[in-house]
Structure 1
Amino acid sequence: MKIKPTLLVLAAGMGSRYGGNKQIDGFGPNGETILEYSIYDAIRAGFGKVVLIVRQEILEMTKELLLPKVEGKIEIDFVLQSLQSFVPSEFQNPERTKPYGTAHAVLCAKDAIAEPFSVINADDFYGKEAFEVIGKFLTNGVQPNLHAMVGYAIQNVLSEHGTVSRGVCSMNEANQLIGMIERTSIAREGEKILSKGDGEVIEIKEGTPVSMNFWGFHPTVFSAIEEMWLEFLTNNTENLKSEFYIPTVANNLIQDGKAAFEILEGGKTWFGVTYTEDKPVVIDSLKKMHESGEYPVNLWG
C-alpha cells in the first residue's frame, strides 16, 4: 500500500499589504477561504493529511472555521510557528518581532510529518492540475535526493494592483531547477515584465518559470533544513529582520550536489490576494469555477 502524501500549509503570515488575515477571509460563493479549495483539491489528488502552520493568535479561529468542514474527510493537524520555535535559547532575542520566514515555518512541522509532503501558501489558489502533478510525484517519484516544485509562467502570476516578488527560476534541459533568484517589485509595463528591485531594472521574459511556493519534499529534507537553520541563526544574530526562505534551502541543496529539484508543469491556474484590490478578481474567478462545474455548488456538500 502506497503512503499518502501530506499537505503542509503555511498560514502564519501577517498579510501586511492585504490589511488583514487573508488566510481566513471568505472568497468563495459560500464564504469559502482560498485554503479550503487547496484542501479540497488535495483530497481529490490523493493526499492523506493536512498540517497547518499557524500563529497562536489565529489558532482557535482557524480550527473553528475548518474542522466542522473537513473533519472525517482528511486528517488535519495544527502546528504553531513562533519566534521561539526551534530557536535555541542562545539565539532568542526579545527585540525581534519579524517572523523567521518560510523555511523556518516548514521546520516547525518536523515532528508532525514523517511522509513525503507538499508545501503551499494558505492564501494562494494553485489549481487542481498542480495538486495532481505534485501528488503523483510524491507518490511515485520522490526520493531522499529528489524533490520538486510546481512551475508557473511569470505572466500568469502578476497583480494588476501593484508589484509582486517572485522566485525566478533557471532550469536545465531535463526540466530540473538550477537555481532561483528572488526578484522584487515585478510588474508589467507595456509589453515588458520588469523587476525594479535592489536598484536595478531586469526584464523577465514571458514563459519564465517562477516559484509560487508549491514544493514537494521527501521527509529527509527536515534534517537538511535544520542544519541550515542553525547556520542561519549563527550568521544573523544581530539582523532582526533576516528571514530563512525555502528557495535558500533549495539553492543550497542544488549547489552542494545533495539534491535535485524537478520543475513540474502543473501551474496552469493561479491567483492570490497580495492586495485588498485583488479580492474582487478572486471572488469572480471562483464564482465562474463553481458555475462551470469545476467545483460543486457547495464545496463540502
Structure 2
Amino acid sequence: ACPELGGPFAVVNADDFYGRRSYELLAARLQEAGDEHLLMGFRLADSLTPNGGVSRGVCVVGDDGMLRSITELHDVADVDGTITNREGVALTGDELMSANLWGFRPAFCDTLRREFDAFRAAHADDAKAEFLIGDAVNAGQSAVRVVPTPERFIGVTFREDLDHVRGEIASLVEKGEYPASLWA
C-alpha cells in the first residue's frame, strides 16, 4: 500500500471504536507540516471493561509530549475502584494508553517494510506471531508525539462486552453524533 500513499496516513485497529474527536484531532495534526508521527493517547481508566482483565500499552511520555516508550501491561482491571495489572502494580487510571490509533508520515513506510521483513524471517514458522506497530516505531527510533484525546476507547475484548459496545454506539447515534446507517 505504501507506493499508493500520497501523504500522511492513519493506522487503526478495525475492531475498535476511537470516537469522532480522536479522528478529527489526528487529521488536523497530520495536516501540519513536520516529520513527527502521531499516537492518540486514551485515558487508561476509560478503556477498561467490567468483564475481565485486558492488555493495554501504557505510554511513557516526556515533558515535551513525545513518546518515550510503550509498556504492554496484562490483565489490567478495575477491582473495587483500584486499577492493577497482573503483577499487582497499582495504576492511577490517568495514564495514557495506546489503542493503536497512529498517524504516520510517508517516510515511516521504509521502517515498516524493513521491520516487517525482519519479523517474517524471524517468525516464519509461527502462525500466531503478531507484528506490533509499536515495535516498528521503537526499532525505527521514530519521533512520535502523543496527542491526548478526550474520547473513550470502546472495544470488544470479551463476548460480554458486545451489549455495552452496542449501547454506547446507539447512544452516539441517538445524540446525532453518527448516522443510524453509515451507508445511507
Q: Identity over aligned residues, as a percent?
A: 29
Q: Aligned residue for 2:5? A: 113
8 Å Cα contact 1:125/1:272 also seen in 2: yes
* Equivalent in 143, 146, 150 of residue 263 of structure 1: 146
Alpha-carbon distance change, 142 to 274 in structure 1, aligned in 2, over 3 angstroms: farther
TM-score of the aligned structures, taking structure 1 as reference length: 0.57
Deviation at 1:234, TM superposition (A): 3.8
8 Å Cα contact 1:126/1:267 also seen in 2: no
Equivalents in 1 of 2:74, 2:167: separation in Å? 27
Higher relative contact order (CA 8 A, sep 6+): 2
Given the alignment of the two structures, is residue 139 of structure 1 paired with residue 31 of structure 2, yes or no?
A: yes
8 Å Cα contact 1:186/1:195 also seen in 2: yes
What are the Cα deviations for residues 280-301 of structure 1, in whole angstroms up to 9, with x where unaligned?
1112112221222222344444
Equivalents in 1 of 2:151, 2:34: separation in Å? 22
Matches within 5 A, 1:93-132: 109-132=1-24
Matches within 5 A, 1:44-123: 109-123=1-15
The size of the alignment, in residue pairs, is 184
8 Å Cα contact 1:150/1:267 also seen in 2: no
8 Å Cα contact 2:54/2:75 also seen in 1: yes
Deviation at 1:204, TM superposition (A): 2.4
* Equivalent in 74, 77, 80 of residue 190 of structure 1: 80
Alpha-carbon distance change, 273 to 238 in structure 1, aligned in 2, over 3 angstroms: closer
* Counterpart residue identity of residue 230, structure 1: D
* Counterpart residue identity of residue 108, structure 2: V
Equivalents in 1 of 2:129, 2:171: separation in Å? 40
- Tell me the C-alpha RMSD between the 2 structures: 1.9
* Equivalent in 194, 213, 227 of residue 114 of structure 2: 227
Equivalents in 1 of 2:181, 2:122: separation in Å? 49
TM-score of the aligned structures, taking structure 2 as reference length: 0.90
8 Å Cα contact 1:115/1:218 also seen in 2: yes
In structure 2, the gaps of 5 or more residues are none
Deviation at 1:211, TM superposition (A): 0.3
In structure 1, the gaps of 5 or more residues are 1-108
8 Å Cα contact 2:17/2:154 also seen in 1: yes
**Greater gyration radius:** 1
8 Å Cα contact 1:167/1:247 also seen in 2: no
Given the alignment of the two structures, is residue 242 of structure 1 paired with residue 129 of structure 2, yes or no?
A: yes
* Counterpart residue identity of residue 149, structure 1: L
Alpha-carbon distance change, 114 to 161 in structure 1, aligned in 2, over 3 angstroms: same
